[in-house]
Amino acid sequence: MGIFDFSAIKSSLQSVDAKVKGLKREILVLRSRRHQLGFAMPTKSEMQQLIIKWTEAKRKEAGFEDFLGELLEIYQQNSGTISDPSRLANPLHRFGGEGGGSRAELNLPMFAIFSEQISAALIKALDNIDWPTGGLSYAERSIESEKLRVRIEALDLELSGLVKEAKDAGIEIK
C-alpha cells in the first residue's frame, strides 16, 4: 500500500455522493407530497360546507332581497296607479320576467328563490356518492403542509451545508 489510501478517498467521495443524492431525492418527494396536498380531495363534510357556501353566494349574487326592496319601493311610489301587474314587467326582467333572459340570467333567480332546496339536493346527491376515505380536512392539510415545509427547509439547509463544505475542500458536487 502506498502513502495515500485512494480506496478510502474513493469510498468517502461515494459516501458523500450517496448522501447528496439521498437528500435531493427526499426533498423532491417531500415537495411533490406538499404540492399534492393542494389538490387533495376534501372531506365529505367540507364538501358539503362548500356546497352550502356556493349556493349562498349565488343567492346573494342574484340580489333577490334587493330586488324585492326595489319592487316594493316602485309599488309604494306608484301605489295608486299600479292596478295592472304587467306594469311591473321592467323590474321583473332582471329575474326572467317579461322580456325573458339568457339561461345564465335565469339561473340566478333559481338560486335566489331555491338556494336552500338546491343546496339540500346537491348534498343529498353527494351523500349517495362513494366518497374516498382518508381525506384530510383543510386544517389537517395546513398542518401537514407546514410540517413538510419545515422538513424540506431543514433538508435544503443540510444539502447546501454539505455542498459548501465539499466546495471549501475543493470537491465539486453536482
- pLDDT for 86: 56
Instruction: List the domain boundaries for the chain.
Output: 13-40+136-174, 43-133
Residue with grid cell 407530497, as numbered in its chain: 33
pTM assigned to the model = 0.60
Distance CA 40, CA 145 (A): 12
- pLDDT for 99: 45
Query: What digits encode the pLDDT tens for the residues 55-72?
Result: 888 888 777 677 667 767
Percent of the chain whose pLDDT exceeds 90? 28
- pLDDT for 108: 66
**Is a pLDDT exceeding 50 seen at residue 97?**
no
Confidence of residue 151 (pLDDT cuts 50, 70, 90): very high
